[in-house]
């Protein structure tokens, strides 16, 4: 029996040493090097995208001309192509991280299996040893020194077992942590693949826009300016019709049903990485938040009162090059999406999405180039809503971000409109429109 106990001690010590050494160390090192190389490539692509964004800021600040618009579309396509490369690299990097995590999971499981087997064998031997009475153990040993040696071995085994069980418990905790990380990376990978699909769609949109622009204008500036004027007139008509419709709405807004004004009630509708670059455009835009037009009777709204029917701007506009990721300002449910461009001559929100949140507010994301959500979808804060664009009535690529008291906003078919009778749009009484900057 004592021989078996000594073997158990040796076996546990040996397996403990073996289990501490990861398998396929060379493969793990190779994966780590590949991940580091991919991270460097991602940084290079991010710098390239930032350079394109700087060029687009300069173009958007200038007067709208045909050549300027064509240049803007050219640079936008280059930026989008780089966005796609960036996402593809992120997909590869995440796949490599998942492979590394899978290898780590297999390694930890192997170590757990080895340790569990050794502990089980030692426990069986220990149980047999302890089942003997003290008197029987003494009588079975002809040599008293051998008996005390047996007791010492038993104590050694108990110590090793205690350490081994503790190590086993730690390994299991580590395995669970790695599995959680692996599941998160799998979700990230799925998200990146969805982004890639959306970005390719946006790239196709910019190609179509440029081809349509050249076909419509026959590459002449005067024709381009005439088209812009037609759009302004059609948008003015839409705004007047919308104002008349919303004036008829009799919806009482309960102030207690919306949150108190305060910073951080809503998140900015962009990724943090984008908002961190906004201060670099302060000289061109006059603010550090990428804002190009504020809420209410702004200078632009006042100078073009006919465009907003004298009611002022009903949201805020953010400078956002085509293909910029637009994210949900808060968790909630998508209550509607639409595309006013589906009806020729309807110059309004273009592609839009409306999200109802649980705090009494709803948010609108308009002029998108691609919508990444569907009606009824439940989303979390920061989830992808779509990509910025230049759809609808827009003087350049941007995001129109609107905030409503949820009680007052509804999505309806604009049947009384002349040019927009077949499309759906969000409408609300005047007092349901809220200043987004009061909650961001």
Q: What CATH number corresponds to the domain at position 95?
A: 1.10.287
418 and 276: one domain?
A: yes
Cα–Cα distance, 324 to 186 (Å, whole number): 23
- Residues 158 and 243 placed together within one structural domain of the fold: no
**Range 315-327 average pLDDT:** 92
| Tokens representing residue 9 in the block | 């001690």
- Within-domain flag for 355: yes
Regarding whether 277 and 145 lie in a shared domain, the answer is no
Of 429, 423, 372, 34, the residue nearest 251 (C-alpha) = 429
* Domain match, 400 and 288 both: yes
Phi-psi region of 15 (alpha: psi -120 to 50; beta: other; left: phi over 0): alpha
Q: Domain for residue 17, yes or no?
A: no
Count up the domains in the chain and report the number: 2
Instruction: Evaluate whether residue 9 is within a structural domain.
Output: no
Residue 264 sits in the same domain as residue 311:
yes
pLDDT tens, residue by residue, 219-250: 788 887 887 788 888 878 877 887 778 778 87
Q: How far is CA 383 from the centre of its chain?
A: 5
Instruction: Based on the fold, state whether residues 278 and 403 are members of the same structural domain.
Output: yes
Q: What is the pLDDT of residues 28-52, one digit of tens each?
A: 667 677 778 878 888 888 888 788 7
Please name every residue paired with 426 in a beta bridge, in sequence order, or none if there are none. 411
Most confident region among 6-15, 30-39, 143-152, 429-438 by mean pLDDT: 429-438
- Which percentage of the chain shows pLDDT scores above 70? 76
Phi and psi at 253, nearest 5°, equal -100, 120
Q: Which of 333, 184, 294, 311 is nearest to 236 (CA)?
A: 311
Shared-domain flag, residues 195 and 224? no
Which percentage of the chain shows pLDDT scores above 90?
A: 25
In a domain, 326, yes or no: yes
Tell whether 301 is covered by a domain: yes
Is residue 385 a contact partner of residue 373, using CB atoms and an 8 Å limit? yes
For residue 55, tell me if it sits in a domain.
Answer: yes
How many CB atoms within 10 Å of residue 425? 24
Q: Of the given ranges (148-152, 179-183, 315-319, 411-415), which has the lowest mean pLDDT?
A: 148-152
- Between CA 432 and CA 314 the distance in angstroms is 10
Domain boundary, last residue among 166, 200, 234: 200
Q: Are residues 81 and 194 in the same domain?
A: yes
Per-residue model confidence (pLDDT) at position 67: 82
User: pLDDT for 288-306, tens place per residue?
Assistant: 999 998 887 655 444 444 4
Which of 168, 200, 232 is the last residue before a domain boundary? Answer: 200
**Is there a single domain that holds both residue 194 and residue 232?**
no
Identify whether residues 226 and 192 lie together within a single domain: no
Model pTM score: 0.73
Q: Is residue 205 part of a domain?
A: no
Contact indicator for 258, 359 with CB cutoff of 8 Å: yes
Q: Are 38 and 94 in contact (CB under 8 A)?
A: no
* Domain harbouring 233, CATH code: 2.70.70.10
Shared domain for 137 and 172, answered yes or no, is yes
In a domain, 248, yes or no: yes
**Residue ranges making up the domain that contains 43:** 28-200
User: Are 405 and 262 in a shared domain?
Assistant: yes
Using 50, 70 and 90 to split pLDDT, how confident is the model at 307? very low
């Amino acid at each position: 029996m004592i021989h078996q106990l000594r073997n158990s001690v040796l076996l546990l010590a040996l397996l403990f040493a073996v289990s501490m050494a990861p398998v396929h160390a060379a493969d793990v090192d190779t994966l780590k090097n590949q991940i580091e190389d991919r991270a460097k490539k991602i940084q290079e692509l991010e710098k390239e995208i930032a350079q394109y964004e700087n060029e687009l800021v300069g173009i958007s600040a200038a007067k709208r001309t045909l050549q300027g618009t064509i240049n803007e579309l050219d640079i936008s396509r280059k930026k989008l192509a780089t966005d796609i490369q960036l996402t593809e690299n992120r997909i590869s990097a995440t796949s490599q991280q998942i492979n590394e995590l899978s290898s780590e999971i297999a390694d930890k499981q192997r170590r757990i299996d080895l340790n569990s087997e050794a502990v089980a064998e030692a426990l069986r031997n220990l149980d047999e040893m302890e089942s003997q009475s003290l008197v029987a153990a003494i009588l079975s040993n002809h040599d008293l020194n051998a008996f005390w040696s047996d007791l010492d071995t038993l104590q050694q085994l108990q110590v090793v077992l205690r350490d081994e069980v503790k190590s086993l418990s730690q390994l299991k905790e580590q395995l669970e942590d790695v599995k959680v990380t692996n599941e998160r990376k799998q979700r990230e990978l799925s998200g990146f693949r969805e982004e890639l699909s959306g970005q390719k769609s946006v790239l196709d949109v910019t190609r179509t826009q440029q081809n349509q622009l050249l076909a419509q204008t026959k590459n002449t500036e005067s024709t381009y300016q005439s088209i812009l004027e037609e759009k302004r007139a059609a948008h003015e008509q839409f705004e007047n019709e919308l104002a008349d419709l919303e004036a008829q709405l009799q919806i009482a807004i309960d102030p207690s049903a919306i949150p108190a004004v305060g910073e951080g009630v809503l998140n900015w509708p962009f990724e943090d990485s984008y908002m961190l670059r906004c201060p670099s455009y302060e000289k061109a835009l006059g603010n550090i938040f990428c804002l190009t037009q504020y809420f209410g009777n702004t200078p632009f709204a006042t100078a073009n009162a006919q465009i907003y029917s004298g009611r002022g701007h009903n949201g805020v506009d953010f400078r956002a090059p085509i293909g910029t990721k637009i994210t949900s300002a808060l968790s909630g449910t998508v209550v509607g999406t639409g595309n006013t461009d589906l009806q020729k001559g309807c110059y309004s929100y273009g592609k839009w999405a409306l999200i109802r949140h649980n705090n009494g507010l709803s948010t609108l994301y308009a002029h998108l180039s691609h919508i990444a959500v569907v009606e009824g979808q439940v989303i979390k804060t920061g989830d992808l809503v779509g990509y910025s664009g230049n759809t609808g009535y827009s003087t350049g690529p941007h995001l129109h971000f609107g905030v409503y008291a949820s009680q007052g906003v509804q999505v309806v078919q604009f049947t009384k409109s002349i040019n927009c009778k077949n499309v759906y749009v969000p409408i609300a009484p005047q007092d349901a429109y809220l200043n987004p900057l009061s909650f961001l």
